[in-house]
Amino acid sequence: MVIFDHLGRKLFLKDTPKRIISLVPSQTELIVDLGLKESLQGITKFCVHPKELRKEKKIVGGTKTIHLDRIKALRPDIILCNKEENTKEIVTALEKIAPVHVSDVSSISQSLQLILDYGELFNVEKEAESLVSKIANKLKNLSEKLQDKKWESCVYLIWKDPYLAAGSDTFINELLLLNKLENKILQTRYPEVSLAQLESYSSDLLLLSSEPYTFKDNHVEDLKNNGFNAIKVDGEYFSWYGSRLEKAIDYFNDSVAQFSTSK
């Protein structure tokens, strides 16, 4: 059995993988939602959905640091990684243990394709197609709901000290556009920005993410005191792809007024 991952790398598999290790939180959630929880052998400490999973499965490290001995002991048939979440060095080391599938997701269409890819890879095509259909219908309904919403400009911060923003060619940017939010940061993926630069962008909204840095109410107030229209947003719904996208659309439906200056 020969398959290709999102980087065009060829993987050789003896059969449908039955023992899975996932080193990407959003992909771990997707595997569970496709009905493959029992096949999941190892996960990261950041795989927080579903909530009970870290008590049930072996923790093999994080996304940037892993325990190769633990992974090897679990005898995986396949290891799931992501181009952005995991390093090239990690992938190279893991390939000595088992085939490594590397995803590359920076758009909604790529997220839906990953679901279908996993459906084929793990022989759960019907489950994958059903999930994609649900997401597609919700996307259509959200688009219709936002048809008359005016565009707002924004900056989306993911880190503090220094401030880091989500730029172009990111999944976050794709979901901002879905909500008719025009990202002011377009030059690079995650640039460092100063307070002065933030002021120069003159954006309608300054979105403070709950992850990877957890912005708190006092951060919102500090920025408001500096003249910014700052609000906190749930980072999982803006950055997790896969099955989380279905829940994200529900969140966006409930937050339409929040993402607008014309309330």
Please, which pLDDT band fits residue 256 given cuts at 50, 70 and 90? Answer: confident
Judge whether 136 lies within some domain. Answer: no
Judge whether 54 lies within some domain. Answer: yes
* E strand spans, 24-180: 40-43, 58-59, 78-82, 100-103, 152-159, 163-165
Contact of 83 with 89, CB cutoff 8 Å:
no
Partners of 61 in beta bridges = 66
Give this prediction's pTM. Answer: 0.95
Residues 88, 156: one domain? no
Write out the residue range of the structural domain in which residue 227 sits: 148-254
Residues 181, 240: one domain? yes
Judge whether 132 lies within some domain. Answer: no
Q: Residue 263 pLDDT more than 80?
A: no
Residues 98, 152: one domain? no
- What mean pLDDT do residues 230-250 have? 97
Provide the CATH number for the domain around residue 175: 3.40.50.1980
Looking at residue 150, the DSSP 8-state letter turns out to be P
Judge whether 46 lies within some domain. Answer: yes
Judge whether 119 lies within some domain. Answer: no
Residues 170, 248: one domain? yes
CA 3: distance to chain centroid?
Answer: 23
The last residue of a domain, from among 49, 84, 104? 104
Q: What is the mean pLDDT of the chain?
A: 96
Residues 73, 170: one domain? no
- H or E segment to which residue 181 belongs: strand 181-183
Which tens digits make up the pLDDT trace of 157-199?
Answer: 999 999 999 998 899 999 999 999 999 998 789 999 999 999 9
Judge whether 130 lies within some domain. Answer: no
Q: Can you give the pLDDT at residue 126? A: 98
Q: Can you give the pLDDT at residue 257? A: 81
- H or E segment to which residue 2 belongs: strand 2-4
Residues 225, 156: one domain? yes
Residues in contact with 92: Cβ distance below 8 Å, sequence separation at least 6, in sequence order = none
Q: How many domains does the chain have?
A: 2
Residues 170, 227: one domain? yes
Judge whether 125 lies within some domain. Answer: no
The last residue of a domain, from among 104, 122, 138? 104
Judge whether 231 lies within some domain. Answer: yes
Which tens digits make up the pLDDT trace of 27-63?
Answer: 999 999 999 999 999 999 999 999 999 999 999 999 9
Residue 68: both structure tokens together: 């190769």
β-strands 2-4, 10-12: how paired? antiparallel
Q: Can you give the pLDDT at residue 262? A: 64
The last residue of a domain, from among 51, 75, 104? 104
Q: Establish whether the linkage from the previous residue to 162 is cis, with ω within 30° of 0.
A: yes
